[in-house]
Amino acid sequence: QVQLVESGGGLVTPGGSLRLSCAASDSLFAFNTMGWYRQAPGKTRELVAGISSAGSTTYADSVKGRFTVSTDYSKNAIYLQMRDLKSEDTAVYYCNAKEIINIPGGEDADEFDFWGQGTQVTVSS
């Protein structure tokens, strides 16, 4: 099964920057979309940034202009560059990859989600 391992989390002061890395056990060519989710205490998990196999990106409104998601296919890596961090960015961040399989003659596509174990990001003065 696909394994995703995050790294780069930690403690940073408001206005600071942090870069999260996600190492995938498989080639990124296996995935349709990749990206990052986060979950703060008492909150539901939300999409922070996503990137498709075609290179299209999407961001949560709260992080637009501050976060950048990217990939390095040669390293099987997914990155999240975070800048101008705010206290509300504090959460556990999860790497995610989705594989969508269309079965010939089938009515629906099957989506397979793969998740990392999460890395803590704390923004505090």
In DSSP notation, 69-91 reads EEEETTTTEEEEEE-S--GGG-E
Q: Residue 30: what pLDDT?
A: 94
Q: Residue 105: what pLDDT?
A: 84
User: Which parts of the chain have pLDDT scores under 70?
Assistant: none
The residues pairing with 110 across neighbouring beta strands, listed in sequence order, are 101
Q: Residue 63: what pLDDT?
A: 98
74 CB neighbour count, 10 Å cutoff: 8
The helix/strand/coil state of 63 is coil
How many residues can be counted in the chain? 125
Sole residue written with tokens 């989390």:
9
Q: Residue 102: what pLDDT?
A: 85
